[in-house]
Amino acid sequence: MPSAIDFYFDFSSPYGYLASEKIDDLAARYGRGVNWIPVLLGAIFKVTETIPLIQMPVKGEYYAHDFARSARFLGVPFQMPHPFPIATQNAGRAFLRLQDRDPVLAKKFAHACFRAYFTRNTNLSDMSQLTTVAAAVGIDAAELSAAVNDPALKERFRAQNEAAIARRVCGSPYFIVDNEPFWGADRLPQLEKWLQTGGF
Amino acid sequence: MPSAIDFYFDFSSPYGYLASEKIDDLAARYGRGVNWIPVLLGAIFKVTETIPLIQMPVKGEYYAHDFARSARFLGVPFQMPHPFPIATQNAGRAFLRLQDRDPVLAKKFAHACFRAYFTRNTNLSDMSQLTTVAAAVGIDAAELSAAVNDPALKERFRAQNEAAIARRVCGSPYFIVDNEPFWGADRLPQLEKWLQTGGF
């Protein structure tokens, strides 16, 4: 059985969201699974010495335009959220907790988070709003709160981020398949060709 | 007649080179011409507050890998040059001079420059090497030297750079068609869809 694709993303990443709507179907066409791995871009930006795309001089304006156009190009609903970006460690910790219980449920939760933020302006950094998103996929407030405040999960999420940085993950979305790295929703066609041909 | 595509590029830009091998054929399929407009990334980087891709912490290594893979993906011959990047104002000024005389010849010269640098490691910032590239497309050393040292051309190239920056050109390749901006060789599919559909 061919190895799964590692899919690194931050819940606050527009291109990460766009890729999240495509990667499982793409992988399935070539008999591959996908490991969803939430990370924090803030920590990655420290080692890459960069800032959020939207805050970059001149480029920021282009990116805002490109987020929406890339969404239309890919046929994915999109509405630019405000505030942007937001802190996503709570969503990340909750994802890890759910993954232990049921990986399918964890992905369902991740999709719900991405769609809530990028189509309905639901602020995932606000616990009451995150609770509403979680409730819609069957996770109650008590479980969510426990996950978010669990010191062991905090440490695990931190370590997962460090491991991603050690693997040279430099943005979101970032994919690694058979040791080959692909960065960006715009690299999905190259990733697909890689799966199709076994490397090119 | 639909308006031409403005194609901004730096002769030292790998993704600019990749796009240069595709843009005229792509445009022609939709009855469009292409205005080739050389710029200096160094000047653009000042306003975008950035540095060459290859020098970015962590990302630099990824980009070097991606240049070559993107070339294979697009079926374009590529060999990473050293030194990289290089100063390209001489190639840019020569391009402008040729454009006045014969736009077709100017594009031929631009292709020759890109291919020499990115497939044969010809350093375009070295006048003797640039002379060899120019000679191959019928431009003699005297004409090249006159173009490179002409104060009027220097000023025109500088003004062209300023005009590009005023249009928010933030990298290479950068395309503007019907006022819609597309940045990157990886936006060629979106640019094509734009031409196909009249905007999406």
Please indicate whether, in this complex, the C-beta atoms of B48 and A56 are within 8 angstroms of each other: yes
Provide the residue count of chain B: 200
A149: its two tokens: 């405040």
Per-residue pLDDT of chain A (200 residues; tens, 9 = 90+): 789 999 999 999 999 999 999 999 999 999 999 999 999 999 999 999 999 999 999 999 999 999 999 999 999 999 999 999 999 999 999 999 999 999 999 999 999 999 999 999 999 999 999 999 999 999 999 999 999 999 999 999 999 999 999 999 999 999 999 999 999 999 999 999 999 999 99
Please indicate whether, in this complex, the C-beta atoms of A62 and B181 are within 8 angstroms of each other: yes
Cβ–Cβ under 8 Å, residues B35 and B125: no
Give the pLDDT band (50/70/90) at residue B144: very high
Please report, rounded to a whole number, the percentage of residues in chain A having pLDDT higher than 90. Answer: 99
Q: What order of strands is seen across the sheet that includes strand B180-183?
A: B34-38, B5-9, B174-177, B180-183
Distance CA A104, CA A113 (A): 14
Per-residue pLDDT reduced to its tens digit, A24-50: 999 999 999 999 999 999 999 999 999
Residue B13 touches chain A, beta carbons under 8 Å: no
Question: In CATH, what number is assigned to the domain containing residue B53?
Answer: 3.40.30.10
Partners of A72 on chain B (C-beta within 8 Å) are: 200
Partners of A171 on chain B (C-beta within 8 Å) are: 59
Per-residue pLDDT reduced to its tens digit, A119-147: 999 999 999 999 999 999 999 999 999 99
Partners of B183 on chain A (C-beta within 8 Å) are: 62, 66
Average pLDDT across chain A, whole number: 96
Q: How many Å separate Cα B137 from the centre of its chain?
A: 18
A107: its two tokens: 């992905």
pLDDT at B158: 97
* Domain membership of residue B41 as a residue range: 5-197
Structural domain tally of chain A?
A: 1
Q: Identify which of B194, B197, B168, B186 has the alpha carbon closest to the alpha carbon of residue B8.
A: B168
Q: How far is B106 from chain A (nearest CA, A)?
A: 30
pLDDT at A2: 87
Is the bond preceding A173 in cis, omega lying within 30 degrees of 0? yes
Per-residue pLDDT reduced to its tens digit, B146-166: 999 999 999 999 999 999 999
Task: Map residue B130 onto helix, strand or coil.
Answer: helix
Residue B187 touches chain A, beta carbons under 8 Å: yes
How far CA B40 is from CA of A2, B104, B142, in Å, comes to 45, 22, 24
Average pLDDT over residues B119-144: 96
Does the pLDDT of residue B28 top 80, yes or no? yes
Cβ–Cβ under 8 Å, residues A39 and A169: yes
DSSP H helical segments within B167-187, as ranges?
none
Residue A130 burial (CB count, 10 A): 26
Contacts of A75 (CB under 8 A, 6+ apart): none
Residue A120 touches chain B, beta carbons under 8 Å: no
Per-residue pLDDT reduced to its tens digit, B88-112: 999 999 999 999 999 999 999 999 9
* Model pTM score: 0.96
Average pLDDT over residues B166-189: 98
How far CA A172 is from CA of A9, A17, A109, A166, in Å, comes to 5, 9, 18, 15
Does the pLDDT of residue B75 top 80, yes or no? yes
Does the pLDDT of residue B133 top 90, yes or no? yes
